[in-house]
């Protein structure tokens, strides 16, 4: 297996568990946080499967485009800031548009992230490429996102890798009610697997998760509060490099 095939194989194995759980529980649900007055060419994904896969490595700020096992293109990208991280996980392109809105450059490819509107898009701030600079979306140079836009169809899988903590990226972050992010999704997955959480796997820390977390903490003898801290992560079996 050559280096390019190994990189793709490593990421697929890394997310195989998440793919199974997400598509069983979330389906095609999507919630929007960002709206746009320009809906040019925007539409929902068709039933046709894509022969391409996109792998985004946030630890490198790189986007890799594969066709089967062949690496076709690679691009430097900008990713989310610490306070507005990019959505780690396995997603699909479900919408595409030209000139989608102010600040989004010349192309937009929306992802089916359930807790907000995230996508791969261009930018009017090319100096941000290569840095943690966005509100969570993946930014590209306009000329490069135009190229990618023309290549990949709807339903193209987008694998976003953030580090050794699986869905949590490269660090464990204290969570509290109201948070909407990949970290919450991973905790929901663990609570559901243990029989405490019965709600949707949507990455939103709402009332259902509050109740489930309190029940779990009570049974585990943890401090009885709504915070997901280091002790809670460890009790859920979320450890480094698992």
Q: What CATH number does residue 31 fall under? A: 2.40.440.10
Structural domain contains residue 157: yes
**Claim to verify: residue 148 and residue 222 sit in the same structural domain:** no
Look at 26-30, 66-70, 152-156, 232-236 and tell me which has the smallest mean pLDDT: 26-30
Q: How far is CA 66 from CA 20, 46, 69, 156, 242, in A?
A: 21, 20, 6, 10, 26
Would the pTM count as exceeding 0.85? Answer: no
Angle at 114 between CA 33 and CA 170, to 5 degrees: 100
**Claim to verify: residue 15 and residue 111 sit in the same structural domain:** yes
> Is 36 a residue whose pLDDT tops 90?
no
121 is catalytic: yes
Which of 137, 141, 183, 226 is catalytic? The answer is: 137
Structural domain contains residue 184: yes
Q: What is the pLDDT of residue 35?
A: 33
Structural domain contains residue 242: no
**Claim to verify: residue 31 and residue 124 sit in the same structural domain:** yes
Nearest to 134 by CA among 123, 143, 146: 123
Determine the structural domain holding residue 194 and report its residue range: 166-235
Structural domain contains residue 124: yes
Structural domain contains residue 138: yes
Q: What is the CATH number of the domain that holds 187?
A: 1.10.101.10
Structural domain contains residue 241: no
Mean pLDDT throughout 64-81? 95
> Is 78 a residue whose pLDDT tops 60?
yes
137 is catalytic: yes
Name the 3-class secondary structure at 90: strand
Which of 121, 141, 183, 226 is catalytic? The answer is: 121
């Amino acid at each position: 297996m050559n280096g390019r095939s190994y990189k793709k194989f490593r990421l697929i194995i890394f997310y195989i568990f998440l793919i199974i759980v997400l598509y069983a529980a979330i389906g095609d649900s999507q919630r929007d946080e960002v709206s746009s007055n320009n809906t040019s060419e925007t539409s929902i994904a068709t039933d046709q499967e894509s022969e391409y896969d996109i792998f985004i490595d946030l630890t490198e700020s790189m986007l890799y485009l594969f066709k089967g096992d062949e690496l076709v293109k690679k691009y430097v990208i900008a990713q989310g800031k610490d306070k507005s991280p990019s959505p780690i996980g396995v997603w699909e392109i479900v919408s595409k548009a030209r000139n989608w809105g102010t600040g989004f450059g010349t192309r937009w490819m929306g992802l089916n992230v359930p807790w907000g509107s995230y996508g791969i898009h261009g930018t009017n701030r090319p100096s941000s490429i290569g840095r943690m600079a966005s509100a969570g979306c993946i930014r590209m140079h306009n000329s490069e996102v135009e190229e990618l836009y023309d290549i990949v169809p709807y339903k193209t899988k987008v694998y976003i890798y953030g580090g050794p903590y699986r869905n949590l990226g490269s660090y464990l972050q204290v969570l509290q009610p109201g948070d909407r992010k990949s970290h919450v999704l991973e905790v929901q997955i663990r609570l559901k697997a243990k029989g405490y959480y019965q709600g949707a796997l949507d990455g939103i820390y709402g009332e259902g998760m509050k109740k489930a977390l309190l029940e779990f903490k009570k049974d585990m003898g943890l401090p009885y509060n709504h915070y997901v801290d280091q002790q809670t992560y460890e009790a859920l079996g979320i450890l480094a490099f698992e």
